Amino acid sequence: MLDPVFLHALLALVSGALIGLSLGLIGGGGSILAVPLLLYVVGVGSPHIAIGTGALAVAANAAVSLAMHSRARTVKWPCALAFAGSGVAGAAVGAHFGKAVGGDVLLALFGLVMILVGAAMFFRRGEGGNPDVRLDRASAPRLLPPLASTGFLVGGLSGFFGIGGGFLIVPGLVTATAMPLLNAIGSSLVSVTVFGLTTATSYAFSGLVDWGAAALMVAGGLGGSFAGLRLARHLSGSRRALSVVFSTVVIATGLYIVWTGIGTLTAPA
């Protein structure tokens, strides 16, 4: 029989690898997976600690994937920084209110968001977009308002539910700027990193981060990120199929979390 401490460490490493794989492969999903993995696989007892720990692990893994995408020149830095900058304020506000909501209620709402995001992924259209889009002095009056407003909204949802928001950021960037999907994926990792750090800092000051589990997930995520980027290069033509498969997993997990949350809330005291 495996030693419980060793098993806990192994599960945290594997969970981190899955998060890194998702971020490296399709630029999101790690944040959505982090909380249920910490709760139901790693065995973290508190939803709030799972949110704080997951936010820290995802932010670190997203930073690794961002560095790789930056080397591949798929990051639209001015657009990404403008989106992330406005999203920081939203993430801080969202994290403040998220800590004030009961853990079981937060889980049920989180599951509902997973279902909606998974459905949006499933019906998302092909890549397209304008590869030459850029934020500069001439385009600022047109691009800054949608970038700022969408960034604040996505940041607020990210902070409230403790998710990096990759699957919300990508369509938000595409809608605000009409950039290609590949550029939106790379650029979204700026916000995933910043939002995750903002949420993790807020939760850390409240003592709601499991530092040991976070470190193990970051270590596992390093290998996952490299593997995800290698797979993305080889399977780029199947990105739509991969998104459909992943959206199905997200929806199924969301349904389970909603069912679990509602069952806890309706259970006799």
What is the predicted pLDDT for the residue at 33? Answer: 83
Mean pLDDT, residues 235-258 taken together:
74
What is the predicted pLDDT for the residue at 123? Answer: 77
Find, among 28, 132, 24, the residue nearest to 69 by Cα: 24
For the chain, the farthest-separated pair of C-alpha atoms sits apart, in whole angstroms, at 65
> Which residue range(s) make up the domain with 73?
4-266
The conformational region for residue 180 under phi > 0 = left, psi -120 to 50 = alpha, else beta, is: beta
Q: HSE, CB side, 13 Å, CA atoms: give it for residue 123.
A: 6
Q: Summarize pLDDT for 78-102 with one digit per residue, the tens.
A: 999 999 999 888 888 888 888 777 7
Q: Summarize pLDDT for 152-171 with one digit per residue, the tens.
A: 988 888 788 766 667 678 87
What is the predicted pLDDT for the residue at 13? Answer: 95
Q: Summarize pLDDT for 10-22 with one digit per residue, the tens.
A: 999 999 999 988 8
Mean pLDDT, residues 56-64 taken together:
91
Residue scoring higher pLDDT (237 or 76): 76
Number of domains in the chain: 1
Residue scoring higher pLDDT (9 or 248): 9
Highest mean pLDDT among 54-68, 98-112, 239-253: 54-68
In which band, very low, low, confident or very high, does the pLDDT at 235 lie, cut at 50, 70 and 90? Answer: low
Percent of the chain scored above 90 by pLDDT?
Answer: 29
Mean pLDDT, residues 116-145 taken together:
81
What is the predicted pLDDT for the residue at 141? Answer: 93
What is the predicted pLDDT for the residue at 30? Answer: 80
Residue 111 near residue 257 (C-beta atoms within 8 A): yes
Please give the Cα distance from 185 to 209 (Å, whole number).
27
Return contacts of 66-69, CB within 8 angstroms, 24+ apart: 66/186, 66/189, 66/190, 66/192, 66/193, 68/24, 68/225, 68/226, 68/229, 69/27, 69/185, 69/186, 69/189, 69/229
The secondary structure of the chain in percent helix, strand, coil, rounded to multiples of 5, reads 80, 0, 20
Lowest pLDDT segment from 3-17, 33-47, 92-106: 92-106
User: Residue with structure tokens 């539910």?
Assistant: 161
Q: Summarize pLDDT for 183-232 with one digit per residue, the tens.
A: 888 898 898 888 888 888 989 999 999 999 999 999 999 899 888 877 77
